[in-house]
Amino acid sequence: MLIFGFHIKTSSHLHHCHSSTMVRIPEVKLSSGGKPMPRIGVGTAVFPFASSEAMRATILRSIELGYRHFDTAAIYQSEEPLGAAIADALRAGAIRSRDELFITSKLWCSDAHPHLVLPALQKTLRNLQLEYLDLYLVHWPVSTRPGKYELPPAKEDLLPIDMSAVWRAMEECHALGLTRSIGVSNFSSKKLETLLSIAKIPPAVNQGNKVEVNPLWQQQKLREFCVAKGIQVCAYSPLGAKGTHWGQNWVMDCGVLEDIAAAKGKTLAQICLRWVYEQGDCVLVKSFNEERMVENLDILDWELSEEEKHEIGQIPQRKGFPGLDFVSDDAPYKSTAELSSSSSSMARMPEVRLSSGGKPMPRIGMGTAVFPFASSEAMRAAILRSIELGYRHFDTAALYQSEEPLGAAIADALRAGAIRSRDELFITSKLWCSDAHPHLVLPALQKTLRNLQLEYLDLYLVHWPVSTRPGKYVLPPAKEDLLPIDMSAVWRAMEECHALGLTRSIGVSNFSSKKLETLLSIAKIPPAVNQVEVNPLWQQQKLREFCVAKGIQVCAYSPLGAKGTHWGQNWVMDCGVLKDIAAAKGKTLAQVRTAR
């Protein structure tokens, strides 16, 4: 845990803490076999930068209080004051030897070029007045134009990184004894996987903003990956990084954490730090007064209960740091999703052109129909994560109660830089049966757009060739509410929505060949899409052939059989033929079905 940027003042309580019974900070062994790393440390990243004298005094006081792990970086402008504070501590007898300390620094992006790695580390050692580091990290999986130490870097200075060559230079620094361990910062699982495939010395640590870990961004999968690979996680922003240009106050305003803190007689910050500590991570945290330096040590002799950990585990996830500083239309990474992926050019999802001439539709999309309905926060988080992973096609409906969380997730993705524009997405919604009346079609679409916070849809579908009594959004509908549908008048209203620019394409869902034939005979604008159930156990060959012949794109739902719904079965996932094919190809049954 790295704590940085504290105001210094004296109190009898603080002097009492610096006594012969000073708390011993637990350590963790690194895979490289270097010195064990204390799990609580002092960071030195302060934005805007602190004065050298204030930083020097803060670090000296933290050494007197018992901290032994210090984190700096070339970009922080804190290497020289940290070096001066270490010299002060040696002169004052606060430590007997530099070897009592664990010192980390980082290679900035402008030095992330093979020929500049060794000179950059040598400069860092001169700044620190040290002969070696305990840990040297690649600060970001990004290179920038040499000679500039700027955060954020200018977009025109962003360059592709030759990670293989840079890592070989890091390994050479290790071989020369200039650093006891080497590692990375702000690396995703995919970036780590790529690095592990080329490294002779695997990274001992993954630290930084991409490894932001707090109760509102728990990073379970990344932490599990690091544990499995023997990489120690050093977590950034456990309190949300309020005060930085990227930080938020979501963590400190979290009601669940406030309640746990009140019940345990602890501060909310201590609850967060203890939670991260219990995950096995080292932690990086920001604080601005000396009392909190002591407070941050008071997390070692108590535990969170299983119930409290469960409550924290249920907190909806919200990522604080978007990574926008390192993406640009003209840079190697065009989006934060690409920044997290294993290469700078994320695979493009195949698309299909629709007969209406609207935006091409990605052939793989994410459905949002969950029965029983999912919580809004869980749905919102799942959609945001899917956007970060590269999904661009999302399907919702008035009935699903997912329009509002989808709209919120799109807004989140825009703020986070996961997409640059709403136009990158293909959004489908559907007219429910209770609105399948000519005078209700336009108001229903307008309500959908308000829910989604959008100006237009890419595709609007008639959900079923059925009308029900207005005002009821129920599945299944009551039998007494079923009404005949005036398909001709409803479709004219759909065409009017298209003419108004409120939807780029119109189509239908759950229509048979005969229903489509009738609709085609009256339509001025033919349906662009028919969304229907399709899977290996319900292949719909004749319907699909009809649609192909008429220029109607089929969009398949329930490809795995819709287990968990009131209509679904597990026949698809229990199919022996599919299991055999999956085993032979080394794929999951779901992958075999989707490819089909």
- As annotated, the active-site residues are 76
For 42, 435, 508, 510, 531, the CA distances from 464, given in Å and listed in that order, are: 61, 11, 7, 6, 10
Q: At 397, give phi and psi (nearest 5°).
A: -165, 155
Residue 279 has what DSSP assignment?
A: T
| Helical packing angle, 79-92 and 52-65, nearest 10° | 50
How far is it, in rounded angstroms, from Cα 471 to Cα 469? Answer: 7
Q: At 357, give phi and psi (nearest 5°).
A: 80, 5
DSSP 474-538: -SSPPGGGEE---HHHHHHHHHHHHHTTSBS-EEEES--HHHHHHHHHH-SS--SEEEEE-BTTB
> What is the CB-side half-sphere exposure of residue 497 using CA atoms within 13 A?
34
Encoded amino acid at 212, one letter: E
Cα angle at 250 between 247 and 253, to 5 degrees? 130
Please enumerate in sequence order all residues whose Cβ is within 8 A of that of 576, keeping only pairs 6 or more positions apart, or say none: none
How far is it, in rounded angstroms, from Cα 171 to Cα 435? Answer: 65
Please enumerate in sequence order all residues whose Cβ is within 8 A of that of 342, keeping only pairs 6 or more positions apart, or say none: 190, 191, 193, 194
Check: CB of residue 131 under 8 Å from CB of residue 161.
no
How far is it, in rounded angstroms, from Cα 275 to Cα 310? Answer: 11
Burial category of 154 from C-beta neighbours within 10 Å (exposed 0-12, middle 13-18, buried 19 and up): exposed
Give the number of other CB atoms < 10 A from CB of residue 7. 13
CA 354 to chain centre: 32
Instruction: Write out the E strands in 258-307.
Output: 282-283, 285-286
> Omega before 372 cis (within 30°)?
yes
Tokens in use for 205? 């640590």
How far is it, in rounded angstroms, from Cα 461 to Cα 14? Answer: 67
How far is it, in rounded angstroms, from Cα 269 to Cα 412? Answer: 25
For 13, 305, 390, the CA distances from 429, given in Å and listed in that order, are: 61, 43, 20
Q: Considering only CA atoms, which of 353, 368, 363 is closest in space to residue 429?
A: 368
The strand order across the sheet containing 232-236 reads 42-43, 69-71, 102-107, 135-138, 182-185, 205-212, 232-236, 282-283
